[in-house]
């Protein structure tokens, strides 16, 4: 795929002009605020930003934001064509590749760059790295925002690699927040704490971008290790080292890896932290008890890079990544149910990926659109919201076209379906804090989902009113004749 680890990948994106370096920015809100401004108000494509010479830290102790914040960087990471990276083309290329993947297990090696330095005992200090404070209402600094939490199922032996936020408690303690329903939460509470057993855990940051991509996915099946899928994407095994203190496989080429243990019944107040949907939605600005990670060892490369994400009101540093991933996951789910006629899927950035999804279909039978919408509405399992089904003449990634179809092709009394009592969890910002307090960490929280059929009625589609829109043939003629004049005025397709 042309890169072996994060540093190799960074060299490639720097040559492409996709990396900007900033010197002298502070960890206290300054780095994160600059990133937020660029990703919300800046021009596309948004660059990745690497911060160095951070006040109070040695030169070379760096942070990286926006790793997968452009379609080109996502294409490079996934090993799909880089010549056309328009959103739908990128999603289609990843859809085709993802269908052909077959797991490649990781390769154990004895050593790697991550072992260039190891701190144990009194030398451990998580804040020796320039860990940011991300938002103005955050009370603590977060080590884990663009990282992987590594756990092993003690019964089945498979390794989970997931992204669950990690807060700094003090120099040798962290706090882990994995929401109910996630694999990490199930392993933690059901497999270890439920049996009164301590849980070995590792947190890796500065990952190969392929591993970061997979650690964030919502559709990896239970029992499937992200390491295996990463090897399939890259076409070669991910190199891992058996952690001396946990026995867990840790990425040999990561920038920083923490090894530690969580003990049943040992909790600490965690949060608040501004989340991916733009709210402090766990319990507002209140702290919530979460498991403590007792740090046993910290491994890191010379001049380490701490990778970071800046969540908040979208678009943010990983909303595009979530959109591409969720769009393809929904399409593959529909395919697995044997649903024909799927032409395209897109989940909107402002819906954070997974909260406002549009599926384009060629209607083939009565009830086709409703069937598609009902199945797609259950992804993601923990917090779906709106699913809109349109016809093949509508570009699902063009919000203007989608809204036009919704307001002109839907008979509202027949086309809007509200599905009550679907699973959700404590990240949902529309559920009041007192309701979350009653449910605690249980999996009993529910919320409705909405399916909107924005397709023309199939029973009289052939007689539908003519559409006043330039034809593809006339468009090609006009573009061909007036290309020089129009090239700077038209949006790229």
- Per-residue pLDDT at 103: 93
Q: Which of 391, 388, 376, 448 is nearest to 416 (CA)?
A: 388
Task: Give 170-215 pLDDT, tens digit per residue.
Answer: 999 999 999 877 899 999 999 999 999 999 999 999 999 999 999 9
In this structure, the answer to whether residues 159 and 296 fall within a common structural domain is yes
Residues 46 and 149 in one domain: yes
Asked, for residue 332, whether it belongs to a domain, the answer is no
**Element (DSSP H or E) covering residue 368:** helix 368-376
**pLDDT score, position 433:** 74
pLDDT at 427: 72
- Confidence band for 1, pLDDT divided at 50, 70 and 90: low
Residue 193 placed within a domain: yes
Q: What is the CATH number of the domain that holds 470?
A: 3.40.1670.10
**286 — pLDDT class (breaks 50, 70, 90):** confident
> Are 219 and 365 members of one domain?
no
Tokens at 199, concatenated: 């849980």
Q: What is the model's pTM?
A: 0.92
The pLDDT, as a whole number, for residue 353 is 57
Angle between helices 71-78 and 6-15 (to 10 degrees): 130
Q: Are residues 355 and 439 in the same domain?
A: yes
Residues 6+ apart with CB under 8 A from 392: 343, 360, 361, 362
Pairing between strand 288-300 and 305-308?
unpaired
Residue 327, domain member (yes or no): no
Count of CB atoms within 10 A of residue 124's CB?
Answer: 18
> Does the structure show a pLDDT above 60 at 467?
yes
What 3-state DSSP class applies to 130? coil
Residues 86 and 155 in one domain: yes
Determine phi and psi for 362, rounding to 5 degrees.
Answer: -100, 110
For 208, the domain range is: 6-308
Look at residue 428 and give its three-state secondary structure: coil
User: Is the same domain home to 108 and 42?
Assistant: yes
Half-sphere exposure of 437 (CA within 13 A, CB side): 7
Domain assignment present for 1: no
**pLDDT (tens digit per residue) in 23-44:** 999 999 999 999 999 999 999 9
Q: Which residues lie across from 295 on neighbouring strands?
A: 260
> Do 207 and 279 share a domain, yes or no?
yes
Residues 464, 359: one domain? Answer: yes
> Percentage of the chain with pLDDT > 90?
81
Residues 6 or more apart whose Cβ sits within 8 Å of residue 138: 272, 273, 274
Q: Please confirm whether the linkage preceding 272 is cis (ω < 30° from 0).
A: yes
Q: Is residue 325 part of a domain?
A: no
What's the pLDDT score for residue 179? 83
Please check whether residue 108 is in contact with residue 124, taking contact to mean a CB–CB distance below 8 angstroms: no
In a domain, 403, yes or no: yes
Q: Tell whether 246 and 347 lie within a shared domain.
A: no
Q: Lowest-confidence range among 226-230, 343-347, 484-488?
A: 484-488
Distance CA 369, CA 360 (A): 9
């Amino acid at each position: 795929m042309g890169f072996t680890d994060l540093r190799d990948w960074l060299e490639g994106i720097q040559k492409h002009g996709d990396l900007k370096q900033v010197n002298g920015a502070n960890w206290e809100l300054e780095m994160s605020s600059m990133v937020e401004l660029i990703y919300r108000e800046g021009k596309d494509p948004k660059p990745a930003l690497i911060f160095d010479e951070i006040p109070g830290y040695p030169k070379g102790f760096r942070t990286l934001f926006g790793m997968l914040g452009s379609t080109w960087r996502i294409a490079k990471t996934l090993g799909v064509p880089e010549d056309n990276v328009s959103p739908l083309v990128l999603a289609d290329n990843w859809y085709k590749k993802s269908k052909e993947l077959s797991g490649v297990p990781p390769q154990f090696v004895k050593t790697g760059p991550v072992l260039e330095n190891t701190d144990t005992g009194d030398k451990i200090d998580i804040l020796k790295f320039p860990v940011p404070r991300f938002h103005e209402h955050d009370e603590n600094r977060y080590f884990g925002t663009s990282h992987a939490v590594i756990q092993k199922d003690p019964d089945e032996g498979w390794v989970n690699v997931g992204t669950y936020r990690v807060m700094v408690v003090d120099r040798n303690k962290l706090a882990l927040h994995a929401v109910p329903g996630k694999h990490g939460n199930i392993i933690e509470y059901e497999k270890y704490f439920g049996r009164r057993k301590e849980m070995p855990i590792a947190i890796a940051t500065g990952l190969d971008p392929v591993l970061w991509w997979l650690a964030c996915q919502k559709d990896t099946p239970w029992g499937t290790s992200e390491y295996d899928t990463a090897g399939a994407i890259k076409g070669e095994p991910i190199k891992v080292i058996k952690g001396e203190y946990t026995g867990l496989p840790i990425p040999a080429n990561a920038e920083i890896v923490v090894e530690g243990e969580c003990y049943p019944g040992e909790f600490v107040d965690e949060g608040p932290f501004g989340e991916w949907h733009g709210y402090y939605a766990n319990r507002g600005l209140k702290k919530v008890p979460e498991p403590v990670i007792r740090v046993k060892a910290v491994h890191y490369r010379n001049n380490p890079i701490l990778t970071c994400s800046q969540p908040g009101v979208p678009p943010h540093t990983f909303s595009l990544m979530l959109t591409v991933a969720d769009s393809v996951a929904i399409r593959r789910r529909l395919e697995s149910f044997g649903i024909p006629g799927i032409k395209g899927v897109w989940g909107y950035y402002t819906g954070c990926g997974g909260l406002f999804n549009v599926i384009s279909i060629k209607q083939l039978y009565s009830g086709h659109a409703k069937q598609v919408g009902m199945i797609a509405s259950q992804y993601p399992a923990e917090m779906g919201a709106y699913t809109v089904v349109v016809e093949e003449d509508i570009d699902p990634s063009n919000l203007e076209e989608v809204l036009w179809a919704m307001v002109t092709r839907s008979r509202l009394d027949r086309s809007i379906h509200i599905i009550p009592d679907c699973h959700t969890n404590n990240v949902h910002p529309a559920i009041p804090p007192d309701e979350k307090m009653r449910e605690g960490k249980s999996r009993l929280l529910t919320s409705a989902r909405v399916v909107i059929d924005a397709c023309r009625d199939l029973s009289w589609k052939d007689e539908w009113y003519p559409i006043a829109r330039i034809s593809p043939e006339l468009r090609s003629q006009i573009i061909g004749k007036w290309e020089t004049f129009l090239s700077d005025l038209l949006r790229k397709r």
